[in-house]
Amino acid sequence: MITALDHVALAVRDLDAAVEGYSRLLGVAPNWLGGDGGARHAWFQFPDMALDVISPHGEGAFGDRLRGHLEAHGEGIWAVAFTASDLDGFQTLLGRRGLRATPPALTRSTHDDGRKRYWLGSNPHPGDTGGLQVLLIAPPRDGVAWPLSEPTGEAPVTRLDHVVVRTPNPERALAIWGAKLGLDLRLDRSNAQWGARQLFFKAGDSVVEFGASLAAPVSADPDSFGGLAWRVDDPDAARRRLAEAGFDVSELRTGRKPGTQVFTVRDAPAGVPTLILSAEPAPSPAPREPA
């Protein structure tokens, strides 16, 4: 079963430029630079997930696959990867639920300094996941989590809040992500003021949010990735840091969730729509019973 969001993968053409941009945006340094199979990548590790920025590099099947994706879709979110316990058993279960997935296989990444990392993964067929690239990753074999990225300045991003997906078919999303992949559906709401229906699926400490237009007809068109929403402890300081780093940021405004503040980064690297949110407000204390 899926226990957490493992990482979000971005496909980019210029890895060095994307790493420089995301280092400034996130306020943390990548803790891994390397690659294999015709691609290089940079890994930014947070407590609840990682951001994996990948570009083609040299010859190899994976690099060819990335080149094809970039040619067809351009830069941006390429895949979401989930941690799945008992990956062999889960892959079998998905097949019984009508969702094709490759047998678990090892992936290797070689750091620029020669160190190596391995992880076991399975790839569900995009034709069975609404057109999205989904990856399933086994927990680390030695049980040791990868080290966190180190902050490089004031008010860094602390974690991912949610991934946004656009869907023309919310009932299909419910069937795939709820019934087949088994994510925890926390909220299904329609809001005429926003003109949207939203589905919120929980994966560990992160959320995958599906948005569907109430005005558009339901269709069999594929889903598409939207953007990323990140958490910071001090949104005012984070906005100031990003503005000083040259980013085009909106004014700070009240978030939809009570007690939160948000702002938008209009020119995030790789064109990924990016929202920065304040930390979750502390829950109000329960009222005391009268004496």
| Domains observed in the chain | 2-137 (3.10.180.10), 157-278 (3.10.180.10)
pLDDT at 52: 98
Chain segment 128-151, per-residue pLDDT in tens: 999 999 999 999 887 788 899 999
pLDDT higher than threshold 90 for residue 289: no
pTM equals: 0.93
Q: How confident is the model at residue 152 (pLDDT cuts 50, 70, 90)?
A: very high
Is the pLDDT reported for residue 287 higher than 60?
A: no
Task: Tell whether the model's pLDDT for residue 65 goes beyond 50.
Answer: yes
Phi, psi of 110 (to 5 degrees): -105, 120
pLDDT band, very low/low/confident/very high, at 167 (cuts 50, 70, 90): very high
Query: Which carries the bigger pLDDT value, residue 165 or residue 153?
Result: 165
**Contact of 216 with 209, CB cutoff 8 Å:** no
At 285 the pLDDT is 46
Tell me if residue 252 falls in helix, strand or coil. coil
Residue 59 Rama label (left phi>0; alpha psi -120 to 50; beta): beta
Per-residue pLDDT at 175: 97
pLDDT in tens, 207-265: 999 999 999 999 999 999 999 999 999 999 999 999 999 999 999 999 887 888 999 99
Confidence of residue 281 (pLDDT cuts 50, 70, 90): low
DSSP assignment letter at 59: S
Q: Rounded CA gap, 190 and 183, in Å?
A: 20
Q: E strands of the chain, at which residues? A: 2-11, 32-36, 39-45, 50-56, 76-84, 105-111, 116-122, 134-137, 157-166, 184-191, 196-203, 206-213, 224-232, 253-254, 261-265, 274-278
Are 97 and 80 spatial neighbours (Cβ–Cβ below 8 Å)?
A: no
Residue 94, pLDDT > 80, answer: yes
> Which one-letter amino acid corresponds to residue 287?
P
